[in-house]
Chains A and B, each alone.
Chain A
Amino acid sequence: MSRLVPLFAFIALAVLLGFGLRHAGDKSELPSPLIGKTVPDFDLPSLFDPEARYTPASLAGQPWIANFWASWCYACRVEHPAITDLANRGVVRVVGMNHRDTREDAAEWLDRFGDPYHLHVFDADGRTSIDFGVVAAPETFLVDANGIIVFKHIGAVTPDVVENEILPRLERMGVEQP
């Protein structure tokens, strides 16, 4: 019996390492401490009109999506069709939070690939992105009508995320699906 101890130890270790390997991918996606909290305060200009300003208060009343993007961000191009699709459904305001970019580059990007956003907010120095805990664009937050963050997605939004994460949450908020 005692000769089997190394074998059992080996099996136990193999199971442990196997478990670690299977869940290795989870670690890159950090849980956001902001879920369930009020959206961070900001006062930012519009991407196109420096005079127009947006704050969480000016966006409150209905749910909205904060989609952090930049013209230099490759994954933002990858998620562009999914974001466009979500915006075109007309169930939620999709706000483009332009992150560490220039107005010219951002405008050119929107011209070239199409502009899915209902509103454009310009976070030139990335200070608001830090308050949102954005690690790297693209990151997407769903904010409810009361200004509470209910969902966050790191990386490119896929049709699957729209279908299975964002739309069901909107439905639960009582947003009518067309």
Chain B
Amino acid sequence: MIKRPFAPWRQHRLARSCWRLMALALLLPAMVAAQPATPREPLTFESPAEQARFQALAAELRCVVCQNQSLADSNAMLAQDLRHEVWEMMREGHSDEAIKRFLVERYGDFVLYRPPVQANTVVLWVAPLLLLLAGAALVGVNIYRRRALLDSEGEEET
């Protein structure tokens, strides 16, 4: 193997990406500033149990802005607002169900990671079961056929 000669272009490229990074770093505060500056105080919890309840609830709710993150994970502005809303409703003594209903009334079933079983979600809930049954039936038929084949071969031999 011939050792590769020193490649100035590689260094060049590296330097260029460094510059890009620096430019991005300069732009970043401007991008952050594009969001309104209304500071939210971090949520405080009275007990570990309350915190656990909050986190379990937030993990089950979808962030509507960034649709593949949960409300617990997202740092989007709306997610922060909604976390605050959930926290406040918990403090006011609302049940988990009431809090979920509050969000579904505004954002639709989509906010729930576990959608309720209803007319438009039946396929979602039943299809896996049906597929499993279809697969089992297929395997069963195959086994039955092969066994019949083996049996008939065995009969021929004797």
Contact = CB atoms under 8 A, between A and B. Distances in A.
Interface of A: 27-28, 30-34, 70, 72, 74, 100-102, 124-126, 130-133, 135-136
A136 B78 contact: yes
Interface of B: 34-36, 38, 64-65, 67, 77-78, 81-82, 85, 104-108, 110
A131 B105 CA distance: 9
B107 A136 contact: no
A100 B34 CA distance: 12
Contact of B35 (A33, A72, A135): A72
A28 B68 CA distance: 11
A130 B71 CA distance: 14
B92 to A, nearest CB: 14
Nearest to B40: A125
A56 to B, nearest CB: 16
B64 A131 contact: no
B39 to A, nearest CB: 11
Nearest to A105: B36
For A32, A101, A126, which residue has the most chain B Cβ atoms within 10 angstroms? A126
A30 B64 contact: yes
A135 B78 contact: yes
Contacts of B38: 100, 124-125
A101 B107 CA distance: 22
